[in-house]
Structure 1
Amino acid sequence: MIARIGIDIAKNVFHVHGVCPAERQLISRKLRRSQVLAFFGKLEPCLVGMEACATAHYWAREIAALGHEVRLMPPKYVKAYLKRQKNDAADAAAICEAVGRPDMRFVPVKSRDQQAALMLHRARDLLIRQRTMLINAFRAHLAEIGHVAAVGRTGVTELLEVVKADDDRLSPLERETLSHLAGQIGDATARITALEKRILVWHRSSEAWGLMPEGAESYAKA
C-alpha cells in the first residue's frame, strides 16, 4: 500500500514517486496531465507532497477532493533532499522524502477565492508597470522635441494637454504618433481605476477579511 507520494508537477508531463510505510519505493512513473486525477482517484487515501508553485494550489485542491492529504512545501526546503542529479524523477523522490519529515514547513493551500483576490492585485500591478513604461516613453519623445514637464501626475497632465491642443507646438505627424501613446496611457489608467474599485469592494465585503493575501489589509483599509 502506498503511504506517501511526491509529485513533480509541470505543464504537461508530471512524475510521481511513491513509498510504502516501510519506506520502500513502490512507484516511480511519468503521468500526462490528463492522467493525474485518474491516477490519484484509484489510490487509497495517502499523503501527497508537492512543491509550492503557481499551479500547485490548483492540483492540491483537486487531489485533496479525491480524499488525499496534500501538503505544499517551499522548493528551497525540498532541495536539501535531492540525492542525485536533478531531473523529474529525482525531484519527485526528493519531494516524497521531504513531505514525510516531521520538521518540514508547509505552505497553506490557497482557495479559489484567495487566488482570485491575488489575481486582482497582480493584474493591477502589471498595468501600473505598463503605464509607467508608456509614460516614460511619452515623456522621452516629447523631450526630444523640446517639451518637458515636472515629475509626477501634474507633469504628465501638462504633456497630455500639449498633445491634445490644436496648435503648432507639434507637427501633424508628431501629434498623431503621440496621441496613440496618450490613448494607451488613458486606457491603462481607466483599467487600473476599475481594478482598484473592485479590490476595495471585495476586501470590504464581510466574507473577504479572512481570505486576504498577505499585505493587502492596509490597502483595503485605505
Structure 2
Amino acid sequence: MKLTTVGIDIAKNVMQVHYIDIETGEIVNKPIKRAKFLEHFANRESCLIGMEACGGAQHWARQLILMGHQVKLMPAKFVKAFNVRNKNDAADARAIWLAVQQPGKAIAVKTEAQQAVLALHRMRQQLVKFRTMQINGLHGLLTEYGEVIGKGRAALDKAMPIVLERIADRLPSMLLDTLREQWNGLKQLDAQIAEIERRLREWMKEDKAAKALMEIPGVGVLTASAAVATIGDTKVFKSGREFAAWIGLVPKQTGSGGKVKLQGISKRGDVYLRTLLIHGARSVLAHAKQPSLWVEQMLKRRPLNVVVVALANKMARTIWALLAHNRLYQTDYVSVKPA
C-alpha cells in the first residue's frame, strides 16, 4: 500500500501541514494548532511524515510513530534546497514534502533516555563555554589596569590573590569585590561541570554499549556516552564508513568534468561528537607509549593534523562496528570483508 506523504513545518504554536489527498487529488496546505496536531493524525492511515530535525522534532516524531506512522527527520540544509521561492510556513511545508520523497540519510529518532544524555552534554558544554568566557573576561579586565596574567586557568588561580592585593590601594572596592566574586564563581562552575560528569558516569554503569566503547583508546566518558546517544539506531547507517562520513570526518569533494579534487574534511553532521573524536585521537597520539604500526606509518608521510583526523575517522568506524555487531573491543582484531 502506498503511503500518503506529508510534509510538516513544526513551530511552537502552529504546525503547517502539506500533502496531496489520495482520493480527491486536492493539494492540502493548512495550519494546525498545537493542541489539535496529534488529533489530526490519530485516525488517519499510516503516512510517511517528513520534518526538519529542529527543536521539538524528536518529541513529535516519537508521538507519531506510536500512532503507526513512519517519520523521517531531515537536516535543515537538505530541506532548504527544495524551497525555491518565498520563505514562509506554507512554502517550508511544501519544501519538506518534496525533500522527504528524495533519497537521503535520515536522522535517527531517539528515545527520551538518549535525549536526556544529550541534554546533559549540551548543558555541560554551555557551562564550559561560560567558564572560558569568564576566565577570558577576567584576563581582559585586569589588563586594562596593567595586570597581565599568563594564559590558562592555572596561571589565573595562582596570580589572582597577588593581583587583587596589589591593586587594592588604587582601585575602588566595588570593582575589587566584583572581580573576587567572578573569580570565586569559577569554582561553582567547576562543581556543576563535575556533577554532570558524575551523572554521566553513573548512567554508563548501566549501559553495556557505552561501557564497551570505553575500551577503545581515545574514547572516554564523554565520547562514549555522546556516541551512543547520538547514533541512536545503528541500522540508520550501512557501515562504519557511512557513519564517519555523516559526522564529517571524510574529505570534501569538489570537481567537474570527471576531475575530482579532495579538500579538507567536510565538517558535516554533529559538530560536538566530531570534536570529541578529534580531541580523543589527539590525546592518543600525544600520550601513547607505543603507537600502532598504522599510526607510525601515517606520521612518516602525512602531517600531524591529518593523522589526527584519520585516527578520529578510524575511531568512529570502530564505534559503529561495536554498536552494530554488539561486540567488545579487541586490540588485535582484523576485519575481514565478507565474500
Question: Into which bin does the TM-score normalised by the smaller protein fall?
Answer: 0.7 to 0.9
TM-score, with length taken from structure 2 = 0.57
Compared CA separation, residues 137 and 185, structure 1 to 2 (3 A)? same
Shift of 1:204: 4.5
* CA apart distance, 1:58: 1.1
2:87 & 2:153 partners in 1: Cα distance? Answer: 50
In structure 2, do the counterparts of structure 1 residues 82 and 139 end up closer, same or farther at CA, with 3 Å as the change threshold?
closer
In structure 1, the partner of 2:229 is: 212
Distance 1:134 1:118 in 2: 24
The amino acid across from 2:204 in the alignment is H
State the AA in 1 paired with 2:107: V
- Unaligned runs of 5+ residues in structure 2 are 211-226, 232-272, 285-339
The 2-side partners of 1:127 and 1:47 are apart by 39
Higher relative contact order (CA 8 A, sep 6+): 1
Q: Equivalents in 1 of 2:47, 2:187: separation in Å?
A: 53
Preserved contact between residue 163 and residue 178 of structure 1 (Cα < 8 Å): no
Q: Per-residue deviation at 1:49? A: 0.9
- For the residue of structure 1 that corresponds to 2:230, the secondary structure is coil
The change in CA–CA distance for 1:176 and 1:39 in structure 2 (over 3 A counts) is: same
Query: Separation in 2 of the partners of 1:169 and 1:86?
Result: 56
Q: 1:53 to 1:212 in 2, by over 3 A?
A: same
Could you tell me which amino acid in structure 2 is paired with residue 159 of structure 1? A
User: What is the CA-CA distance between 1:21 and the residue it aligns to?
Assistant: 4.7
Q: How far is the alpha carbon of 1:126 from its aligned partner? A: 0.8
Q: CA deviation at 1:15?
A: 0.5
Match of 1:139 in 2: 139
Q: Match of 1:15, SS?
A: strand
Ranges in structure 1 where 5+ consecutive residues have no aligned partner? none
> CA shift at 1:162, angstroms?
3.1
TM-score by length of 1: 0.83
Secondary structure of 2:126's aligned partner: helix
> What is the alpha-carbon distance in structure 2 between the residues aligned to residue 200 and residue 23 of structure 1?
56
Number of positions where the alignment pairs a residue of Structure 1 with one of Structure 2: 217
Match of 1:34 in 2: 35
State whether residues 18 and 27 of structure 1, in contact with CA within 8 Å, keep that contact through their aligned partners in structure 2. Answer: yes
How big is each residue's C-alpha offset from its partner over 1:31-58, in whole Å with a ceiling of 9 and x where there is no partner? 1111111111132221111111122111
CA distance in 2, matches of 1:123, 1:106: 25
Output the amino acid matched with 2:106.
F
| CA–CA separation in structure 1 for the residues paired with 2:71 and 2:45 | 13
Q: Deviations over 1:67-113 (max 9, x none)?
A: 11111112222233335423211221221232223x23311112212
Asked whether the equivalents of residues 9 and 56 of structure 1 are also in contact (C-alpha less than 8 Å), the reply is yes
Residue matched to 1:170 = 168
**RMSD across aligned C-alpha pairs, in angstroms?**
2.8
Measured in 2, the distance between the counterparts of 1:46 and 1:12 equals 22
Q: C-alpha offsets along residues 167-194 of structure 1, whole Å, 9 cap, x if unaligned?
A: 5652470432212212222211211121
Find the counterpart in structure 1 of residue 44 from structure 2: 43
Give the corresponding residue for 1:150.
Answer: 150
Structure 1 residues 163, 191: closer, same or farther in 2, change over 3 A?
A: farther
| Counterpart Cα distance in 2 of 1:95 and 1:64 | 18
| Shift in CA distance, 104/150, structure 1 to aligned 2, threshold 3 Å | closer
Whichever residue aligns with residue 57 of structure 1, its letter is Q
Residue 161 of structure 2 is matched in structure 1 by 161
Bigger mean CA offset, 20-29 vs 109-118: 20-29
SS class of match (2:207): coil
Q: Which residue of 1 aligns with 2:195?
A: 194
Aligned-residue offset at 1:7? 0.6
Secondary structure of 2:6 counterpart: strand
Whole-angstrom distance in 2 between the partners of 1:140 and 1:77: 41
Aligned partners of 2:99, 2:23: CA distance in 1, in Å? 16
